[in-house]
């Protein structure tokens, strides 16, 4: 059983909350709009900001003027260090670079001006290459922060629109509801059952109940400067906080750095982000390799000096070897590769919020998916209606064809009218003139669109809403109290049919008369609801009751004696891309589990449509009631064969994810609603929906699907696996080059041969190893066959036995091929000439390029994946070869590298020798392919 890292995550969150709380207390000593406006009444706020509590700002020109005055509503960190300072700091932060600088200084003092200039140029080149890679990584990560901009519901000039929060100005009117993130500091002017989670600002986890009433300043006269504590400003909704319950409206009082969050942002932005697990393991690998390299380089230097070689020569060779052999560029290349992979995922509609998500994606072996909006299209359409009074039996349900709108008026009996009225009044969706459609919850939108089929208009404008109980997953119903134009007060209720039916005592017949609800009637309602659910329809029940007293607030516990009016069933068809994606995931060893609040019948119907296997519903389906009776150990023991969890609550989702993680599974949890957020945060990879998902879900998730399509997860997992393979590939290339360079000089020194490579040539090889050729291996196109491999385990090493065997084999070919050329050239004249070192140097570089070509894929021939498939690799190798040609043919570089021109025959000879590493790897891949035909799981170990 693997260690559950959630405890560590909780501890990190607690530490972060404490830091946020301390920073907030310090920042609130400064004047702040939220502090000023929390003590003003709604009328005083409206007057001071010259706005309107119903229609917002009255002109676009005024909004533009205020934007120029107050700036954009964004909180961004300022660049504290110039790019040149960052560049120059790289010369003094790396001890190996300092050693090279010391070597250049010593060479200059001793009169070796050419060596001093050459080493200096090499230092500048090496540092520039590393800096460019690191700078690209930082810019890639900065781009990620702009991929998911915050949005809000703005009311301006009487029109509501869905806009970016960055465009808000003081005085704007904003509507918000359960699941939204507050886009700026707002003075609340309307609140219905409103609770807001302010934990990311105050550190307190308990949601705060909010109202539109002003805070009494006199109550805080004993506080320093009479400051109202941030947690007591109950009339303010803070930027970045999350609506947990209810809905409301607010006037913007502070934007950008004038918000409460903005005032502490600068202090919070100084907290350094921890390195990802892969980066930490790469750092450890780099330190281990550095230790081994230093020991070998020290021995080489010692042996050379004992043999009577120049100590300056050995010092320069040793330092150059250290720079070339020690893979100090590994963390940079890993970061760049991950960041580029994240940006590629964004183009494929999957936005990963941080690099750890990329690492984890390749290991996911269980996906827990929410049904609505994830497996389905999340555009609800009313399919059937049923009323006990006018339809009596389940077979008489009214089928609502989407194409027909004129004849349904003939079916408007009194109970049908009442059911449609309840669906209309228990509704918070609104029509946007700008977008030309309804905005809000998909279920609410479907109910409003259904009115047009009966030629009915939205009736909410003819009545006044007095109170509301918003829907949540625990109460499973919504209620609104309305007063019509005649002063009659009625309570309307909609929700899960079990909940509404349990609170109903009567039903409405087709003539509009109230009759007693008998047990036989209840049985018919239950039977009908189950029948609708079996057809894969989401079924809601509707009821109402007249209320004599409209002044008292609704007590949800006291809602009884309702009059049942009818059932409405909605369909949410599966996305067409989901079934093929699930098939591929199942082939790749990923267990797909559907978790839904719907009934078992509905869940099974949808599961079969999308390809989730349901052989025996008694074994494959687990209801929330059964789940309540099970311990974590019992759940963990049966979860292997469970593919559906029906009637699941947020607590159930947490238990499911927790049980899976205790088993050692690596879990991805998808969802879009507020009730999904806790499980999204607990999962190894939380996946939220970008379009229909709530801000709460996005905040808790690690990855956002901008197209809300489950199949995008497949491409993200594929990308994650491909990125890990690419990391292994460039590790093979880098380490085989390091081993070859070290071994080559070590052999020459031990055998008392002259050094085959001088310091400048070794530094050039280091540039190739850490530069574009290595980087281009990190962006190799993903092989779709990676999905046929089982998920990678959490404990799997980066340097597997197969990778070690592969890199050592390549290193052996490079060493022996280069030594052969060196000895052959030296034997012709009995001494080491510039031609000998040029041939040896060029042979090593050619070996490097062929080795890079072989490292593009671990098991497939280069001719299978396409010689020109990776454009960046082609450019990188082409430029490297061009650079090598300059080193041996351009007079200036001949002086720097101590080389001379080679003939065309020499180049063909070197190409023939150096291609042996590529040919040998191609033969190895043929052997792998042959074994894979005999053993389908052979690839898993390669």
Residues 6+ apart with CB under 8 A from 264: 20, 23, 24, 26, 27
Surface-to-core class of residue 474, CB atoms within 10 Å of its CB (0-12 exposed, 13-18 middle, 19+ buried): exposed
Residues 6+ apart with CB under 8 A from 554: 467, 468, 469, 479, 481, 491
Residues 6+ apart with CB under 8 A from 733: 769, 773, 774, 777, 851, 852, 855
Residue 504 CA to residue 869 CA, distance in Å, equals: 67
Where is 493: in which H helix or E strand? strand 489-496
Residue 737 CA to residue 2 CA, distance in Å, equals: 36
Residue with tokens 């025959």: 905
- Cα 173 to its chain centre, rounded Å, is 31
DSSP state letters, 424-454: HHS---EEETTTTEEES-HHHHHHHHHHGGG
Cα angle, residue 617 at apex, residues 613 and 621 outer, rounded to 5°: 85
Helices (H), 256-412: 260-268, 277-306, 311-325, 330-347, 355-361, 388-391
Give the CA count within 13 Å in the CB-facing half-sphere of 498. Answer: 10
Beta bridge partners of 669: 368, 686
Among left, alpha and beta (phi > 0; psi -120 to 50; other), residue 24 is alpha
Q: Is the dihedral of CA 335, 340, 345, 346 positive or negative?
A: positive
- Cα 190 to its chain centre, rounded Å, is 34
Give the CA count within 13 Å in the CB-facing half-sphere of 829. Answer: 8
What's the per-residue H, E or C state across 174-235? EEEECCCECCCEEEEEEEEEEEEECHHHHCCCCCEECCCCCCCHHHHCCCHHHCCCHHHCCC
Q: Is the dihedral of CA 652, 656, 657, 658 positive or negative?
A: positive
Surface-to-core class of residue 421, CB atoms within 10 Å of its CB (0-12 exposed, 13-18 middle, 19+ buried): buried
Q: Which of 851, 806, 819, 809 lies closest to 744, judged by CA? A: 819
Q: Which of 654, 717, 644, 715 lies closest to 683, judged by CA? A: 654
Residue 634 CA to residue 309 CA, distance in Å, equals: 72
**Residues belonging to the active site:** 370
Q: Which of 397, 470, 494 lies closest to 245, judged by CA? A: 470
Tokens linked to 472 = 């949540």
């Amino acid at each position: 059983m693997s260690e559950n890292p959630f405890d560590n995550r909780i501890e990190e969150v607690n530490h972060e909350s404490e830091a946020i709380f301390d920073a907030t207390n310090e920042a609130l000593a400064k004047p702040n709009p939220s502090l000023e406006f929390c003590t003003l009444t709604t009328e005083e706020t409206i007057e001071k900001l010259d706005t309107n509590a119903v229609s917002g700002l009255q002109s676009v020109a005024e909004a533009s003027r205020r934007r120029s005055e107050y700036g954009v509503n964004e909180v961004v960190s300022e660049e504290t260090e110039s790019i040149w300072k960052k560049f120059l700091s790289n010369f003094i932060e790396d001890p190996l670079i300092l050693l090279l600088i010391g070597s250049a200084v010593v060479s200059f003092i001793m009169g070796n001006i050419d060596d001093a200039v050459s080493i200096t140029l090499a230092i500048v080149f090496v540092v520039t290459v590393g800096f460019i890679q690191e700078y690209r990584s930082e810019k890639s990560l900065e781009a990620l922060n702009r991929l998911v901009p915050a949005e809000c519901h703005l009311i301006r000039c009487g029109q509501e629109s869905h806009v970016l929060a960055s465009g808000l100005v003081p005085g704007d009117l904003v509507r918000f509801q359960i699941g939204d993130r507050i886009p700026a500091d707002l003075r609340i002017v309307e609140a219905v059952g409103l609770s807001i989670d302010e934990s990311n600002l105050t550190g307190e986890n308990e949601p705060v109940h909010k109202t539109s009433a002003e805070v009494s300043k006199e109550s805080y006269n004993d506080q320093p400067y009479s400051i109202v504590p941030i947690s007591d400003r109950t009339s303010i909704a803070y930027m970045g906080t999350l609506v947990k319950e209810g809905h409301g409206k607010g006037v913007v009082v502070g934007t950008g750095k004038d918000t409460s969050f903005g005032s502490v942002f600068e202090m919070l932005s100084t907290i350094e982000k921890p390195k990802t697990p892969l980066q930490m393991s790469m750092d450890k690998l780099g330190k281990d390799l550095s230790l081994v390299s230093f020991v070998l380089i020290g021995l080489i230097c010692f042996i050379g000096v004992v043999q009577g070689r120049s100590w300056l020569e050995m010092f320069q060779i040793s330092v150059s070897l250290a720079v070339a052999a020690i893979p100090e560029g590994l963390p940079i290349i890993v970061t760049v590769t991950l960041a580029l992979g994240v940006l590629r995922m964004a183009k494929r509609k999957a936005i990963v919020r941080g690099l750890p998500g990329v690492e984890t994606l390749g290991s996911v072996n269980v996906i827990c998916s929410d049904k609505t909006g994830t497996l389905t299209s999340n555009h609800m359409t009313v399919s059937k209606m049923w009323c006990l009074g006018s339809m009596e039996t389940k077979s008489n349900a009214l089928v609502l064809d989407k194409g027909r709108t004129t004849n349904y008026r003939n079916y408007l009996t009194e109970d049908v009218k009442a059911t449609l009225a309840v669906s209309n009044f228990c509704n918070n969706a609104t029509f946007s003139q700008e977008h030309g459609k309804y905005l809000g919850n998909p279920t609410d939108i479907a109910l409003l669109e259904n009115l047009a089929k009966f030629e009915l208009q939205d009736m909410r404008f003819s009545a006044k809403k007095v109170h509301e109980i918003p829907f949540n997953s625990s109460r499973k119903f919504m209620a609104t109290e309305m007063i019509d134009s005649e002063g009659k007060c009625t309570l309307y209720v909609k929700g899960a049919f079990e909940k509404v039916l349990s609170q109903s005592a009567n039903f409405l017949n087709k003539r509009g008369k109230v009759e007693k609800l008998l047990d036989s009637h209840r049985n018919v309602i239950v039977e009908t609801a189950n029948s609708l659910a079996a057809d894969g329809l989401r079924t809601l029940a509707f009821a109402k009751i007249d209320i004599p007293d409209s002044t008292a607030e609704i007590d949800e516990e006291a809602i009884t004696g309702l009059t049942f009016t009818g059932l409405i069933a909605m369909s949410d068809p599966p996305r067409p891309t989901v079934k093929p994606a699930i098939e591929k995931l199942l082939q790749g060893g990923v267990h797909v589990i559907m978790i839904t609040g719907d009934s078992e019948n509905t869940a099974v119907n949808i599961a079969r449509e999308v390809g989730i296997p349901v052989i025996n519903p008694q074994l494959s389906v687990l209801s929330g009631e059964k789940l309540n009776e099970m311990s974590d150990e019992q759940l963990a023991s049966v979860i292997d064969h469970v593919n559906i969890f029906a009637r699941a609550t947020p607590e159930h989702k947490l238990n499911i994810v927790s049980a899976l993680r205790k088993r050692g599974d690596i879990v991805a949890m998808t969802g879009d609603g507020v009730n999904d957020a806790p499980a999204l945060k607990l999962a190894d990879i939380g996946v939220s929906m970008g379009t229909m998902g709530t801000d709460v879900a996005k905040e808790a998730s690690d990855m956002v699907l901008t197209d809300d399509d489950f199949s995008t997860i497949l491409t993200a997992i594929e990308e994650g696996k491909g990125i890990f393979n690419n990391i292994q590939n460039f590790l093979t290339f880098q380490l085989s080059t390091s081993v070859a360079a070290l071994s080559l000089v070590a052999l020459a020194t031990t055998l008392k041969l002259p050094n085959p490579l001088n310091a400048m040539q070794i530094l050039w090889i280091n540039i190739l190893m850490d530069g574009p050729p290595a980087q281009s291996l990190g962006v190799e196109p993903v092989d779709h066959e990676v999905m046929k491999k089982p998920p990678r385990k959490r404990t799997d090493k980066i340097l597997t036995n197969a990778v070690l065997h592969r890199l050592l084999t390549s290193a052996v070919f490079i060493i022996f091929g280069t030594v052969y050329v060196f000895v052959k050239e030296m034997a012709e004249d009995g001494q080491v000439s510039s031609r000998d070192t040029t041939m040896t140097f060029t042979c090593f570089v050619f070996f490097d390029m062929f080795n890079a070509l072989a490292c593009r894929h671990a098991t497939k021939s280069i001719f299978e994946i396409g010689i020109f498939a990776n454009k960046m690799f082609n450019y990188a190798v082409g430029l490297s070869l061009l650079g090598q040609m300059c080193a041996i043919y351009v007079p200036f570089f001949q002086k720097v590298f101590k080389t001379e021109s080679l003939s065309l025959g020499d180049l063909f000879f070197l190409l023939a020798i150096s291609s042996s590493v590529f040919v040998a790897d191609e033969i190895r891949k043929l052997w792998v392919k042959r074994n894979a035909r005999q053993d389908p799981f052979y690839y898993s170990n390669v």
